[in-house]
């Protein structure tokens, strides 16, 4: 009987646990390292025609090609899918030579026809123009005379032709999708041609990518890249300390300082390309002139908007919220792009007494409760929408609430999810709202967000920032787009920022330093952008992740738990254990029967 039990156990164990051992043959290669990046920002869409949050655009740069990219050393344009280009004497025709030998991850070649399809669809389909329509707004036509040649003709000269940052998609995949409005692009693996391929996605949990072995620059040194979403950066920092993630981004100053001197953790501080602003709804209107949203009517008065801005103590925000890790806001472009950065010659400094006088003079008088009212009697009671996932927003909100109370304006704080902030600001459903953008080396993209043309259209297009629609601003924007003389263009860009500041449809609060940290015991060799004082994450390109080098510790680290395999092992143990109990019981019963 004992021998039969042993044989049966061996058979059952062999049946129940073949995958549990997980053992590789002696000559099998070691599994490549996985770089895990913690993030608190939500991915608003996996659809490259629709997604525009930083979390989404970071993914797109890893998955899809662009015509050109930006040098990690100094942001200079450099070849990417297009290996060379030329332009006609009148600057209206641009010819790009597409790099041969590049392939989509399903094996088909990447050609000029893919680029032509992408841009043409953005020109024809308003939904396709949602995230990046400004790049093609001035295009007259796009064609691919052959697989290696892309020809773009513009309506007027366009100086941003080497800064077309729109992801190029495979035509053979996307041409089969008639309606992009709600297409999630979540069929895995996603077809791309970048250094990584998206293979798994769980909304609000993680996105997993594997290195593309056929990437034209050569495969990345890491095998996998995983973005792990946390509810806030506090949770991400704790995961970094425990070694559950390898990179933490968008740290608060307090978190950053707390990591100083921590074993196996390297801090990274650089100038960010992001600006943080408080939107002040000037009266949201669609492109055809239809008012939308819920903005307070008092904010349509530029005098009220300027008074609100004058009540904000920006240096105090730098000191108390950022612990000094930032610069006071003014112009629309951060200091990292020093050519285009503009400082107000006469800034609206913190002056609540002047703000009170100006509101009195404009007819917004205080009521018995101390709250000001419009001439029609409506209280100046503003809702301030904040990102619930960002601790800095909560701090800013409390300061703003206090400062505006001092000038007779009541504020209710409304923390919501990142995606709600995106949806509500695009729909004009706010009074005040915390927002911000990561600017590109070429200023055109963010400048266009303030134009009349960026407003929502009846067919669903448009990506506005503050709903500014001002003919003077639009004129400066249009002129800089067609100016090829660098000095003249810089002047026009600064004129546009001056007009934006004057209209006060947003208050640029500060330019925060980019604060990051990574596990130096597991990874090294990150390429920062720019080379001096640059950062790893949120780059204008894929360099940071592509350049990561695993240490021996990372290369030999155990894989994350495979819960399916663990379940199978436990099932095998339970089955075997149950059989053992059953057979032993039966054997004991048989023995007892014999004794009786």
Q: What is the pLDDT of residues 73-117, one digit of tens each?
A: 999 999 999 999 999 999 999 999 999 999 999 999 999 999 999
pLDDT (mean) for 465-471? 96
Whether residue 8 has pLDDT greater than 50: no
Query: How far is Cα 101 from Cα 107, in angstroms, rounded to an integer?
Result: 11
Whether residue 594 has pLDDT greater than 90: no
Predicted pLDDT at 140: 98
Structure tokens belonging to residue 419: 């995606």
Query: How far is Cα 37 from Cα 206, in angstroms, rounded to an integer?
Result: 10
- Beta strands 34-39; 247-248: pairing state: parallel
Burial per residue of 336-349, b for 16 or more beta-carbon CB atoms within 10 angstroms, e otherwise: bbeebbbeeeeebe
As a residue count, the chain comes to 596
Burial per residue of 162-177, b for 16 or more beta-carbon CB atoms within 10 angstroms, e otherwise: bbbbbbbbbbebbeee
Closest listed residue to residue 460, CA positions, set 297, 300, 292: 292
pLDDT (mean) for 272-294? 94
Query: How far is Cα 467 from Cα 428, in angstroms, rounded to an integer?
Result: 8
Percent of the chain with pLDDT strictly greater than 70: 87
pLDDT (mean) for 3-10? 33
- Tell me the pLDDT of the chain averaged across its residues: 88
The whole model's pTM is what? 0.84
Q: Strand runs (DSSP E) across 304-376, as ranges?
A: 326-328
**pLDDT tens for each residue of 400-452:** 999 999 999 999 999 999 999 999 999 999 999 999 999 999 999 999 999 99
Query: How far is Cα 428 from Cα 287, in angstroms, rounded to an integer?
Result: 13
Predicted pLDDT at 287: 87
């Amino acid at each position: 009987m004992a021998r039969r039990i042993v044989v049966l156990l061996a058979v059952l164990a062999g049946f129940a646990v073949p995958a549990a051992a997980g053992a590789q043959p002696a000559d099998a290669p070691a599994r490549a390292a996985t770089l895990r990046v913690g993030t608190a920002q939500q991915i608003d869409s996996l659809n490259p025609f629709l997604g525009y949050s930083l979390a989404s655009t970071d993914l797109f740069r890893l998955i899809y090609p662009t015509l050109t990219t930006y040098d990690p050393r100094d942001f200079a344009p450099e070849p990417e899918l297009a290996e060379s280009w030329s332009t006609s004497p009148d600057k209206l025709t641009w010819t790009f030579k597409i790099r041969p030998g590049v392939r989509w991850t399903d094996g088909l070649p990447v050609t000029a026809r893919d680029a032509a399809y992408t841009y043409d669809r953005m020109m024809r389909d308003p939904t396709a123009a949602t995230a990046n329509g400004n790049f093609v707004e001035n295009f007259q036509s796009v064609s691919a005379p052959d697989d290696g040649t892309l020809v773009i003709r513009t309506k007027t000269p366009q100086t941003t032709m080497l800064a077309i940052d729109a992801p190029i998609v495979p035509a053979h995949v996307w041409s089969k999708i008639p309606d992009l409005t709600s297409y999630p692009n979540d069929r895995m693996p996603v077809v791309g041609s970048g250094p990584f391929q998206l293979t798994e996605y769980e909304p609000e949990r993680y996105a997993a990518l594997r290195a593309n072995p056929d990437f034209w620059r050569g495969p990345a040194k890491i095998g996998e890249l995983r973005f792990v979403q946390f509810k806030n950066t506090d949770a991400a920092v704790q995961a970094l300390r425990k070694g559950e993630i390898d990179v933490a981004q968008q740290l608060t100053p307090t978190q950053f300082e707390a990591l100083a001197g921590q074993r196996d953790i390297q801090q990274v501080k650089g100038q960010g390309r992001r600006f943080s602003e408080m939107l002040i709804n000037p009266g949201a209107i669609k492109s055809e002139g239809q008012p939308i949203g819920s903005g307070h009517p008092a904010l349509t008065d530029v005098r009220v908007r300027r008074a609100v801005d004058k009540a904000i103590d920006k240096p105090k925000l730098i000191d108390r919220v950022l612990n000094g890790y930032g610069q006071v806001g003014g112009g629309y472009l951060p200091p990292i792009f020093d050519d285009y950065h503009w400082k107000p010659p006469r800034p609206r400094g913190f002056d609540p007494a002047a703000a009170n006088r100006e509101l009195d003079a404009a007819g917004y008088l205080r009521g018995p409760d101390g709250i000001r009212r419009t001439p029609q009697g409506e209280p100046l009671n503003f809702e301030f929408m904040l990102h619930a996932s960002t601790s800095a927003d909560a701090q800013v909100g409390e300061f703003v609430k206090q400062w505006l109370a001092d000038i007779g304006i009541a504020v209710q704080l409304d923390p919501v999810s990142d995606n709600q902030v995106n949806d509500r600001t695009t729909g004009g459903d706010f009074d005040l709202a915390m927002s911000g953008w990561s600017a590109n080396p070429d200023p055109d993209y963010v400048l266009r967000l303030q134009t009349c043309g960026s407003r929502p259209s009846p067919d669903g297009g448009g990506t506005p920032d503050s709903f500014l629609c001002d003919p003077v601003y639009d004129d400066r924007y249009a002129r800089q787009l067609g100016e090829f003389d660098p000095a003249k263009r810089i002047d026009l860009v600064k004129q546009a920022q001056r007009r934006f500041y004057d209209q006060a449809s947003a208050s640029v609060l500060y330019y925060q330093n980019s604060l990051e940290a990574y596990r130096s015991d597991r990874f090294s060799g990150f390429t920062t952008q720019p080379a001096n004082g640059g950062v790893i994450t949120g780059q204008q390109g894929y360099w940071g992740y592509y350049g990561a080098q695993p240490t021996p510790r990372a290369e030999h680290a155990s894989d994350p738990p495979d819960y399916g395999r663990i379940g199978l092992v436990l099932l095998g143990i339970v089955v075997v254990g149950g059989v053992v109990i059953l057979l032993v019981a039966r054997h004991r019963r048989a023995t007892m029967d014999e004794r009786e």
